[in-house]
Amino acid sequence: MQKSHSKELFSHTFTYGIGLFVNRFLSFLLIPLYTYYFKPGELGVFNILQSFWLVIAIFYLFGIETAFIKYFTDEKFPELRSKIYSTTLILLSSTSFVLSIIIFLFAENISGIFNFEGYPDSAFLIKILALVLFADTIYRFPLLLLRAELQAKKYLVLNLISVFVNLGFNIIFIVWMKMGIESIFYAYIISCAVTLIVSLFITKKYLIFDFSFKKAKELIIYGNKFVYVGLFILFIDVSDRFFLKYFTDDATVGIYSANYKLASGMGLIVAAFKFAWTPYFLNLSDNSENKNIISGIFTNYFFAGLLLFLGFAFFIPPVFTYKINGLSLLGADYWSGLIIIPFILLSYFFSGLFSNLNVAPFFKDKTSYFFFVTLSGAILNFILNIILIPLLNIKGAAISTLISYFFMFIFIYYLSQKIYEVKYDWKKITMIVFVFGAGYLISLLLNNILNLTGLYQIIFNLFIITAILIISDITGIFKFKKLLKLKYK
């Protein structure tokens, strides 16, 4: 039973999460381009604005994404679904337009708050960002409709269109036209516009240009409760850039952010899991075996998550610093930031565990727990950043993020077990952690002693991972053939 559900969840994660994965993977692909053509200080300015973008976007959306999926999915009549869709588009188009006008008019004041060093065009960038925020808000809702209808192939195609358009115009603006960091915003706006046009055509049967004040009110009231949790999580994810800027400089922020994005490959996979997990476990609420299923998936996540951790931690440094004709995927000015990679990878791992334990609050209608857990995590993150960044620089910022997610995992586990006890296989989980932890420490020790680099380091780390999989299979911790069969439905 557990094995069957693990395979089914894997299938859902792959099918409905791949669009999200491909879309976000663009930032990973563009790291070599950005680090080659932009100085650390310039990239630092962009990453500060990108963090501001992520925070403000929550207010642009004010929880309507979650509300739209719920109301659209619950409604069975096409004409009423059309009313919900059109109401959502009209509502967000209006509110986003007003917010973007405000940001545009106060661009100089906003720029003064950030106090960018040696970048006089920062107010102009904020004006462009106002347009980005409007485009980013509107273009995602036709995609949400496809997700609600489980139109995975169309969803994937549209995300691929967005990625290739964005990538193409980044290359045109940066490499051919020699434009500055504003070109990143221009490319994104164009990709949003193209995707929106195509997606509106695909979802045209729901476009009736009808606005319901009653539905708009319901959407706002329902969505409002998810704004605060999103803000607290986002604070943990992006506030470290602002603390780094305060305690250090723009160049440090640029180095930290570039290496953070290298680790985001694992974050994309965890995001795909989250994308599939919530609707999946909600459909288990009436299953008499749901606790056993949830426990089995939790154990499988530990194994798969730590395997991903080792894969990214072992291969990111040698791959991105390997030089061919004097050039590497990561600019040499950014190599000092590689020290944060393991901490960020583990942060993503515990973020996934936190989401894994969201079952109980949903099943027992205790979603208010998320507010208290994420608020506590944000407060802890604030304190840790203030203490650790002056002491450890970028390493302190990464450790602060890791401790915050670990704390939230422990906190939600404690609360969840009180209201909906699940018997997790901690004996097997402990063995998994021991085997992977030992493999990681052995790799660190021997790599340092033998001073391995480049291809030799890659080959040695492949040997370590292979040994871990063999040991796991022999001891019965996790059968390797079970992992291979996950691709079959």
Please write the tens of the pLDDT for every residue from 441-460: 999 998 888 887 778 888 99
More confident residue, 18 or 467: 467
Alpha helices in 62-178, H assignment, sequence order:
64-74, 78-105, 107-114, 122-148, 152-171
234: its two tokens: 């986002």
* Beta carbons of 276 and 16 less than 8 angstroms apart: yes
Q: Which of 320, 319, 344 is nearest to 332 (CA)?
A: 320
339-394: pLDDT as tens digits:
999 999 999 999 999 999 988 877 787 877 888 999 999 999 999 999 999 999 99
Mean pLDDT lowest among 242-246, 275-279, 387-391, 479-483: 479-483
116-130: pLDDT as tens digits:
655 667 888 999 999
CB-count burial class (<10 Å; 0-12, 13-18, 19+) for 139: buried
* Beta carbons of 477 and 432 less than 8 angstroms apart: yes
Using CA atoms, how far apart are residues 245 and 116, in angstroms rounded to an integer?
9
291-341: pLDDT as tens digits:
888 888 899 899 999 999 999 999 999 999 888 887 888 888 899 999 999
Q: What share of the chain is helix, strand, coil (3-state, %, to 5)?
A: 85, 0, 15
Residue 365 within any structural domain of the chain:
yes
pLDDT at position 3 is 43
In total, how many domains does the chain have?
1
Residue 213 within any structural domain of the chain:
yes
Residue type, 52: F
Using CA atoms, how far apart are residues 334 and 317, in angstroms rounded to an integer?
11
pLDDT at position 23 is 66
The helix/strand/coil state of 324 is: strand
Using CA atoms, how far apart are residues 468 and 442, in angstroms rounded to an integer?
11
Residue 112 has pLDDT above 90, yes or no: no
Residue 344 within any structural domain of the chain:
yes
Residue in this structure with the two tokens 């670990």, named with its chain if needed = 406
Percent of the chain with pLDDT over 70: 89
Residue 368 within any structural domain of the chain:
yes
Q: Which of 116, 394, 114 is nearest to 255 (CA)?
A: 394
Residue 104 has pLDDT above 70, yes or no: yes
262: its two tokens: 């290298």
148: its two tokens: 């609600």
* Beta carbons of 370 and 71 less than 8 angstroms apart: no
The phi, psi pair for 477, rounded to 5°, reads -60, -45
DSSP string, 255-273: HHHHHHHHHHHHHHHHHHH
**19 band by pLDDT with thresholds 50, 70 and 90:** low
pLDDT at position 2 is 41
The helix/strand/coil state of 340 is: helix
Alpha-carbon distance values, 402 to 277, 290, 380, 399, 408 (Å) = 22, 30, 11, 5, 10
- Cα angle 95, 100, 101; round to 5: 100
Is the whole-model pTM more than 0.85?
A: no
Distance of alpha carbon 124 from its chain centroid, rounded? 28
Residue 52 within any structural domain of the chain:
yes
The helix/strand/coil state of 370 is: helix
Helices 122-148, 40-61: axis angle to 10 degrees equals: 50
Alpha-carbon distance values, 213 to 99, 188, 345 (Å) = 20, 32, 44
Whole-number mean pLDDT of the chain? Answer: 86
Which whole number is the average pLDDT over 151-166? Answer: 84
H helix count then E strand count, the chain:
19, 0
Residue 328 domain boundaries:
2-424
Residue 304 within any structural domain of the chain:
yes
Residue 470 within any structural domain of the chain:
no
* Beta carbons of 360 and 282 less than 8 angstroms apart: no
